[in-house]
Amino acid sequence: MNHLLSIKDLSKTQLLELLALAKEIKANPQGYSQALAGKSVVMLFEKPSLRTRVSFDIGINKLGGHALYLDQQNGALGKREPVSDFASNISCWADAIVARTFAHKTVELLAEHGSVPVINALSDMYHPCQGLADFLTLAEQFDDVSKVKLAYVGDGNNVTHSLMYGAAILGAKMTVVCPLGHFPDGQVVCETQALAKQHGGELVLTSNIDELGEQDAIYTDTWLSMGDNTPLADIKAKFEPYQVNEALMAKAGANYFMHCLPAYREVEATAAVVDGEGSLILQQAENRMHAQNAVLVTLLG
């Protein structure tokens, strides 16, 4: 493993090892307090962030390393100088790059032109650190994460893609319910369906919310991802049947609700569900740090 650009690049063994290491670091943080001693990580962010920025910064600190945050107040990377120069220059000083970018291509360019590991902290296509934290969260609730029935309801986006790869590689059953025109990327669908088959899992895709079926956990995300300037009013009517509310949770018999955050209450999910008893949102947020630290220790430790 040289980089973490997408969960799709991980084998089942690598994915399970990352989850096991994250659990170990969470249980025994002292044992890893010098894992990144003397190492510096540059964090490049083209988009806003609360959880990712803070969990990487504090996480790196807890591993004994040093994090340097570079925001891009002037817009996308590559404006002042080429992305390839960013990558080659940062590689002269830093031991790893964490990048949140608009285009996934930018993360790929950083990996191609730099000589240090690159970790994707969200691109338009994937959010692998989120996916790892989410499967860690599920692994804490269920003895065998491959037996979990996970549904994603809403906009097929970067988070959906990472969950689909994770579920497929783990051999879990995942149901994705999106409005027509908002399905996950076609290539991701093909690849994850093949991976699910290979690993004994199942990936169901539908636009019919009545086909949701029995689920253990229902996951949703914002209907409008960062960089999508469509007014909410333009899509609201189309998305409303896909709101995760108490009736939907009850119909699916789902005990758990998941969301990567930020959550827009009474939009993609009701406050009663987001803040309800079965909500795993804070466990997911906390696990961002442990999952990312497992990635950092694997790549740099």
What lies within 8 Å, CB to CB, of 39 at 6+ separation is 65, 66, 95, 96, 300
Q: Does residue 158 bind ligand NVA (CB under 6 A)? A: yes
Q: Can 130 be counted among the known catalytic residues?
A: yes
**Length of the chain, please?**
301
Q: Can 265 be counted among the known catalytic residues?
A: no
Per CB under 6 A, the list member of 76, 226, 235, 267 interacting with ligand NVA is 226
219 beta partners = 152, 258
Q: Does residue 221 bind ligand NVA (CB under 6 A)? A: yes
Q: Can 221 be counted among the known catalytic residues?
A: yes
Q: Does residue 52 bind ligand CP (CB under 6 A)? A: yes
Q: Report the partner that residue 50 touches, choosing among ligand NVA, ligand CP, none (CB closer than 5 to 8 A by kind).
A: ligand CP
Smallest gap from residue 222 Cβ to ligand NVA (A): 5
Angle at 260 between CA 258 and CA 263, to 5 degrees: 90
Task: Give me the 104-123 binding string for ligand NVA, x by CB under 6 A, dash otherwise.
Answer: ------------------x-
The residue among 88 and 283 lying less far from ligand NVA, judged by its C-beta, is 283
Are the C-beta atoms of residues 132 and 76 closer than 8 Å to each other? Answer: no
Q: Can 72 be counted among the known catalytic residues?
A: no
Smallest gap from residue 179 Cβ to ligand NVA (A): 15
Q: Edge-to-edge strand order for the sheet containing 40-45?
A: 66-71, 40-45, 96-100, 118-120
> How many residues of this chain bind ligand CP (CB under 6 A)?
8
Q: Where are the alpha helices (DSSP H) in the chain?
A: 12-27, 51-62, 83-93, 104-113, 128-141, 158-170, 186-198, 232-239, 246-252, 271-274, 281-300
Q: Which residues bind ligand NVA (CB under 6 A)?
A: 122, 157-159, 221-222, 225-226, 260
Q: Which residues bind ligand CP (CB under 6 A)?
A: 49-52, 122, 130, 260-261
Q: Which residues are designated catalytic?
A: 100, 127, 130, 221, 260, 288
